[in-house]
Structure 1
Amino acid sequence: MADTFDLELVSPERLLLSRPVEMVTIPAAEGEMGVLPGHAPMIVALRGGVIRVREGGRETESLFVMGGFAEITPARVTVLADEATPVASLSRAMATQRVTEAEAALAGAPQTPEAQDQAQARLAAARAMADAAQAA
Structure 2
Amino acid sequence: MAEPMQVEVVSADQVVWSGQATNIIAKTVEGDIGILAGHSPVLGVLVPSGLEVLTPDGKREIIAVDGGFISVAHGRVSILSEYARMAGEISLPAAEKELAEAQARLDAGDEDEETRRHFVRASGQVRAAQKAQ
- TM-score, length of structure 1 as denominator length: 0.77
Residue 80 of structure 1 corresponds to which residue in structure 2?
80
Q: Is it true that 1:99 corresponds to 2:95 in the alignment?
A: no
| SS at 1:67 equivalent | strand
| SS at 1:39 equivalent | coil
2: CA distance, partners of 1:65 / 1:12 = 11
> Are the equivalent residues in 2 in contact too, given 1:5–1:22 (CA < 8 A)?
yes
Q: Is it true that 1:8 corresponds to 2:4 in the alignment?
A: no
1: CA distance, partners of 2:59 / 2:50 = 12
Question: In the alignment, which of 106, 111, 120 is matched to residue 109 of structure 1?
Answer: 111
- TM-score, length of structure 2 as denominator length: 0.78
Change (3 A) 1:30 1:124: farther
Q: Quick one: which amino acid aligns to residue 2 of structure 1?
A: A
Q: 1:91 Cα deviation (Å)? A: 1.0
- State the superposition RMSD in angstroms: 2.7
Q: Quick one: which amino acid aligns to residue 111 of structure 2?
A: A
2: CA distance, partners of 1:90 / 1:73 = 30
Aligned sequence identity (%): 25
> Are the equivalent residues in 1 in contact too, given 2:62–2:87 (CA < 8 A)?
yes
**Aligned residue-pair number:** 129
Residue 126 of structure 1 corresponds to which residue in structure 2?
122
> Are the equivalent residues in 2 in contact too, given 1:40–1:73 (CA < 8 A)?
yes
Q: 1:31 Cα deviation (Å)? A: 1.8
Q: Any residues of structure 2 matched to 1:37-52 within 5 Å, and which?
A: 37-52=37-52
Which 5+ residue runs of structure 1 have no aligned equivalent?
none
Q: 1:65 Cα deviation (Å)? A: 1.0
Change (3 A) 1:14 1:47: same
Which stretch of the first structure deviates more once superposed, 122-131 or 45-54?
Answer: 122-131
Which 5+ residue runs of structure 2 have no aligned equivalent?
none
CA deviations 1:61-105 (Å, max 9, x no partner) are 111111111111141110001211111111134312321343214
